[in-house]
Structure 1
Amino acid sequence: MGRVIDVRRSGERYRGGDPAAGIESLHAFSFGPHYDPDNLRFGAVIACNEERLAPGAGFDEHPHSHTEIVTWVVSGELTHRDSAGHESVVRPGDVQRLSSAGGVRHVERNDGAEPLVFVQMWLAPLSPGGDPAYEIVHGIADSTPYAVPEAGAMLHVRRLGAGERTAVPDGAYVYIHAVRGEVLLDGTELGPGDSARLTDAKDLEAVGVSAAELLIWEMAG
């Protein structure tokens, strides 16, 4: 089939959440009451949600199963508690992963004084079931890959200055989410909240138009 680049703009995302409760959500894939049979997943990625929580707002205890949940805080602080006994505060630069496996419940809240913005990505595991697991990596370094072997995926965090270049990983499926700033990808500009879905990615690079931050998922076929 050859390389395919499918760019999705921030303004195309489905708006959800509960604004009256201080929760605003932007969904890049079919989610909840917004069902789109043509946008269920890309590679292992089944959700990429940008969540905005006002101080004191949050998601009360709710269940997950058979999903790898990876969270990236853009600004503010996220308080996490789960039924396996884990409790942590996730800050910008931290990577948090909750492997819900056969089933787990958790709470996510903004217990801080400032607004919270985070990107949460859900990946489908290669095999269902198993025991829940939790991990947090504080202050992950630029270009340090974070492996999610349960989903056959690797997360790359890339931070670019204006004019800086970075190679895009080669892969059967590559998903790029622009967290902040503007970048050029194969001649197409991506801004905050934009994403690109790459099939058969090879020999591509991203160039910072301004200072920028990218989340890049490299996935096997």
Structure 2
Amino acid sequence: MDVRRADERYHGGDPAAGISSLHSFSFGPHYDPDNLRFGALIACNEEQLAPGAGFDEHPHSHTEIITWVVEGELTHRDSTGHETLVRPGDVQRLSSAGGVRHVERNDGDAPLTFVQMWLAPLEPGGDPAYEIVHGIADSTPYAVPEAGAMLHVRRLMAGERTAVPDAPFVYVHVVRGEVKLNGEELGPGDAARITVAQDLEALAGSPAELLMMVSPSGA
């Protein structure tokens, strides 16, 4: 298990434009040849957008993009005609496939924070696809078939335990709260990269929210 702390993430974004970004993997000008991906996961970004701030229309291709809103509301529009509001508890998936353009903005009056995971698809190309699940139930796995991956969302009360899925690659990201995992104390923004996960549990020391991305294989 490789633990990466919140304060080890790369800082990015454009603070003058109301955008603050924290990157867990190599991203943009932050290049680390030893930190390119884990399993299917190639990015895990925490984005903070001030009211009125956002990312203007930009392209993506050959990437599966999973978005989890922590607080606020995310306005999403893409070139295939989808326009949605993504709120806390919703899972949004954009399969960019052969190519798609989209806009992500905070059109609300309150700050917006969201976690976005990018995954490498099993096969390049294809047609873009979009899906949003509003208010996904706790412990309900969310499949990302194009990447052969599965997202598990867990919301825990203090003292509650949850099993970590047995899998070749499991990336555990702490959204909020404190948890103990295999003897390590993890707090908000901390992550654990677990190779060949088996018979592991996370114990919440306070009310906590976890994102666990499971991959069967990867670099």
Deviations 1:25-64 (A, max 9, x none): 0000000000000000000000000000000000000000
What residue is the counterpart of 2:166 in the other structure? 170
Aligned mates of 1:93, 1:154 — CA distance in 2: 17
Q: CA deviation at 1:218?
A: 1.2
What SS class does the counterpart of residue 73 from structure 1 fall into? strand
- Describe the SS at the equivalent of 1:81: strand
Structure 2 counterpart of 1:75: 71
Residue 17 of structure 2 corresponds to residue 18 of structure 1: no
Q: Does 2:27 match 1:50?
A: no
Task: Provide Cα deviations, 1:44-102, integer angstroms capped at 9, x if missing partner.
Answer: 00000000000000000000000000000000000000000000000000000000000
1:121 to 90, 98, 117: 117
Q: C-alpha distance in 2, partners of 1:187/1:134?
A: 38
Q: Name the residue aligned to 1:104.
A: 100
Alignment of 1:90 onto 2:95: no
Deviation per residue, 1:99-143 (Å, 9 max, x gap): 000000000000000000000000000000000000000000000
Choose from 27, 36, 39 the match for 2:32: 36
For residues 33 and 80 of structure 2, what CA distance do their matches in structure 1 show?
33
Runs of 5+ unmatched residues, structure 1: none
CA distance in 1, matches of 2:4, 2:148: 23
**For residue 80 of structure 2, what is the amino acid of its counterpart?**
A
TM-score w.r.t. the length of structure 2 is 0.99
One-letter amino acid of the structure 1 residue matched with residue 131 of structure 2: E
Instruction: Name the SS of the counterpart of 1:20 in structure 2.
Output: helix
The yes-or-no answer on 1:196 pairing with 2:179 is no
The yes-or-no answer on 1:147 pairing with 2:164 is: no
- Residue 219 of structure 1 and its aligned partner are, at CA, apart by 1.0
Runs (4+) of structure 1 moved beyond 6 Å? Answer: none
**Superposition RMSD on alpha carbons, in Å?**
0.3
Q: What amino acid is the match of 2:116?
A: Q
Gaps of 5+ in 2: none
CA distance in 2 between counterparts of 1:105 and 1:62 reads 5
Percent of pairs identical after alignment?
A: 82
Match of residue 6 from structure 1: 2
Q: Deviations over 1:152-171 (max 9, x none)?
A: 10000001111100000000
For the residue of structure 2 that corresponds to 1:150, the secondary structure is helix
Matched, 1:206 2:202: yes
How many residue pairs get aligned? The number is 217
SS of aligned partner of 2:125: coil
